[in-house]
Amino acid sequence: MANPRLAAALIAAFATLAGGAGPAVAAEDGGWPCIQRRTGALSAAVIWPHPLPAAEAAALPAGAADLAAALALRRISPEAAEARLATYLANHPGTGAEAIGAIFLAALTRIDRDRNRVLDGIGRYARSQAGLAARIDAGHAALKAAETAEPLDFDRIDAIGTQLDWDERIYHDRERALGYVCETPVLLEKRAFQVAQMLLRQLPQ
Can you give the pLDDT at residue 37?
A: 85
Query: Rounded CA gap, 139 and 192, in Å?
Result: 45
Phi, psi of 61, rounded to the nearest 5 degrees: -65, 165
In the chain, domain spans: 4-16+60-200
Can you give the pLDDT at residue 57?
A: 56
Per-residue pLDDT of 51-90, as tens digits, reads 887 765 567 887 999 999 999 999 999 999 999 999 999 9
Rounded (to 5) percent helix, strand, coil in the chain = 75, 0, 25
More confident position, 56 or 8: 56
Can you give the pLDDT at residue 177?
A: 84
Q: Are 6 and 177 in contact (CB under 8 A)?
A: yes
SS3 1: coil
Give the model's confidence band at 8: pLDDT under 50 very low, under 70 low, under 90 confident, else very high.
very low
The mean of the pLDDT values for the chain is: 83
More confident position, 38 or 25: 38
Can you give the pLDDT at residue 56?
A: 54
37, burial (CB in 10 Å: exposed 0-12, middle 13-18, buried 19+):
exposed
- Other beta carbons within 10 angstroms of residue 60's beta carbon come to 16
Query: Rounded CA gap, 19 and 13, in Å?
Result: 12
pTM: 0.71
Give 9-42 as a DSSP string: HHHHHHHHH-STTHHHHHHHHT----SSPP--PP
Per-residue pLDDT of 109-158, as tens digits, reads 999 999 999 999 898 888 888 899 999 999 999 999 999 999 999 999 99
